[in-house]
Amino acid sequence: MGFIQNLFSGGASQLVNSVGNVLDKVITTKGEKMQLDLEMKKADHQFEIDMQNLSLEDKKAILGDIDSARKMNAAVQESPNATKLSKNVSPVLALGGALLTFVLFGWLMFGKWDPNEQSKKEIILYVLGVLSGILTQVFSYYFGSSQGSAAKTDLIHSMHQNMMEK
């Protein structure tokens, strides 16, 4: 118990101080200390670059997944062998979801229901939240994402190019 108690009651700070003292004994000249500091900054900078590259790869994978889904849908739409059902499932579901969302919004705003009835109110709000999320995804799919998203994509691409040049 003494070791753990010493570690948490000041032993950790003593450990850090002793490691610092060892480095001070090993690195004796000012030039060596500056070199160590420079190497530490390089390692920190490389870590930041690696993390940005991982983030960029993750975003590329997400965008690739979206692109492949859109290409698949376009291939089904252009295929002469596709049935009317397979060509129309996505648009019908999207239109149905949008209409259901607007009908529920209208019913909540203008319909005759008791907003004080707690059990129905929670269910309606939950369903409305789900439908609103679906409607957002439908609009993003059919009309593209916002201009801000395109600007972010361009910024990420330019940052990636700058990192590769260095």
DSSP assignment letter at 59:
H
Q: Which two tokens stand for residue 131?
A: 């439908």
Closest CA to 99 of 107, 109, 111: 107
pLDDT digits (tens, 9 = 90+) for 134-148: 888 888 877 776 555
Q: What is the pTM of this model?
A: 0.46
**Among 58, 67, 57, 82, residue whose Cα is nearest residue 141:** 67
pLDDT per position as a tens digit, 97-121: 889 888 888 887 787 777 677 777 7
